């Protein structure tokens, strides 16, 4: 009998952890788009929001080859997390809180063309929390040196012990992992409310270049919004918020996360060249 080598032992161990996880991973079909999802709780599937179509029916491809219709519970574009509800018995995955160190091996368990798939890679970046381009708070920076197809995003990223530490998604240049802490936080809010609360100033802004920096000209004001109540008008130019010079309209939007709702901010503007300051109570962005 041939003695197992270190490489064959590693191969068997990886195959075993993939086999244990695959029954909890499903394919997600939505209007010509395919992705992967996994059972977060009984009847609830987490998938990548970016891979989910904006309209049409959603169907889940189960590990046993069957299918089931799903409904969208809620989705958050800023963290790339969507939550689906499905009437099917799928064993939920236990998500681990630990963030793997730089250089650790990782296996992404997903689906490709409705069949289970796996990809082996390495953690190429592991760092602190960051904010996405759309303003979402991501609890840890995790990047994987691995190649994934579009249909594989939304798959589970496992460490070498088989614990799931997040959801693999396709970033602009590399594969990113949305960590479990972010998934648990966002999915819980989506389950409870169907949406994530975001701050709202009630302003339509246009960036303008000033002699001493960047400003944001108020192009329109929601008459029922908090800025109108504070006295900000069309034509005002915002130059600072809470004594911090404005670095751009997008940067201002990124500060309006869930924690900003209810906060009172000091907005410095120029009106006809004269400086004025307003205190604005950030409200919750209304549903569109």
| Domain co-membership, 27 together with 158 | yes
Tokens 């080859």 label which residue? 65
Final residue belonging to a domain, choices 193, 214, 233? 193
Contact 130, 145 (CB under 8 A): no
Position 288 scores a pLDDT of 61
Round to whole Å and give the CA distance between 33 and 51. Answer: 7
Q: What is the pLDDT of residues 19-65, one digit of tens each?
A: 999 999 999 999 888 999 999 999 999 999 998 988 889 999 998 88
Beta bridge partners of 145: 122
- Domains: count for the chain: 2
Q: What 3-state DSSP class applies to 236?
A: coil
Q: Which of 168, 193, 218 is the last residue of a domain?
A: 193
Give the SS3 label for residue 7. Answer: helix
Tell me, yes or no, whether 59 and 119 share the same domain: yes
pLDDT of residue 221: 96
Residue 16: partners with Cβ closer than 8 Å, 6 or more residues away: 162
Out of 150, 171, 193, pick the residue that ends a domain: 193
Question: Dihedral, CA atoms, 42, 43, 49, 54, nearest 10 degrees?
Answer: -170
Identify the domain containing residue 162 by its residue range. Answer: 1-193
- Kindly tell me the burial class for residue 219, based on how many C-beta atoms sit within 10 Å of its own C-beta (0-12, 13-18, 19 or more): exposed
Q: Centre a 10 Å sphere on the Cβ of residue 16 and count the other Cβ atoms it contains.
A: 11
Which positions ≥6 away from 128 have C-beta within 8 Å?
140, 141
Residues 204 and 189 reside in one and the same domain: no
Q: Are residues 88 and 222 in the same domain?
A: no
pLDDT tens, position by position, 142-188 = 999 999 999 999 999 999 999 999 999 998 889 999 999 999 999 99
In this structure, the answer to whether residues 83 and 183 fall within a common structural domain is yes
Between β-strands 130-131 and 115-127, what pairing exists: parallel, antiparallel or unpaired?
Answer: unpaired
Residue 59: what pLDDT?
Answer: 95
* Residues in a beta bridge with 77: none
Q: Are residues 241 and 130 in the same domain?
A: no
**Same domain, yes or no, for 64 and 31?**
yes
1 — pLDDT class (breaks 50, 70, 90): low
Residues 53 and 166 in one domain: yes
Same domain as 219, residue 264: yes
What CATH number is attached to the domain comprising 261?
2.30.42.10
Residues in the chain: 288
Q: Are residues 183 and 211 part of one domain?
A: no
Per-residue confidence (pLDDT) for residue 250, from 0 to 100: 83
- Say if residue 46 is in the same domain as residue 129: yes
Same domain, 64 and 92: yes
pLDDT tens readout for residues 200-251: 999 999 999 988 889 999 999 999 999 999 999 999 999 999 999 998 888 8
d(C-alpha 120, C-alpha 29), whole Å: 24
The model's pTM: 0.82
Q: Are 117 and 111 in contact (CB under 8 A)?
A: yes
């Amino acid at each position: 009998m041939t003695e197992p080598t270190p490489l064959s032992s590693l191969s068997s161990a990886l195959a075993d952890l993939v086999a244990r996880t695959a029954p909890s991973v499903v394919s997600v079909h939505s209007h010509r788009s395919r992705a992967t999802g996994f059972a977060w709780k009984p009847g609830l599937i987490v998938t990548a929001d970016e891979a989910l179509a904006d309209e049409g029916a959603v169907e889940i491809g189960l590990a046993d080859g069957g299918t089931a219709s799903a409904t969208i519970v809620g989705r958050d574009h800023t963290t790339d997390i969507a939550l689906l509800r499905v009437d099917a018995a799928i064993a939920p995955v236990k998500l681990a809180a630990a963030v793997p160190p730089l250089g650790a091996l990782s296996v992404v368990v997903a689906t490709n063309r409705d069949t289970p798939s796996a990809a082996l890679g390495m953690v190429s970046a592991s760092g602190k929390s960051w904010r996405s381009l759309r303003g979402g708070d991501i609890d840890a920076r995790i990047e994987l040196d691995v190649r994934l197809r579009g249909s594989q995003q939304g798959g589970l990223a496992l460490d070498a012990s088989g614990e799931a530490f997040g959801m693999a998604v396709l970033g602009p240049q590399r594969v990113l992992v949305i960590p479990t802490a972010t998934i648990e936080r966002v999915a819980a809010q989506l389950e409870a409310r169907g949406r994530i609360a975001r701050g709202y100033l009630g302003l339509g802004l246009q960036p303008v270049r000033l002699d001493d920096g960047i400003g944001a000209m108020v192009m329109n004001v929601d008459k029922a919004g908090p800025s109108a109540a504070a006295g900000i008008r069309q034509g005002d130019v915002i130059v600072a918020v809470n004594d911090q010079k404005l670095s751009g309209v997008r940067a201002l939007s990124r500060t309006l996360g869930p924690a900003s709702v209810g906060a009172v901010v000091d907005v410095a503007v120029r009106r006809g060249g004269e400086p004025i300051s307003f205190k604005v109570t950030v409200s919750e962005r209304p549903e569109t």
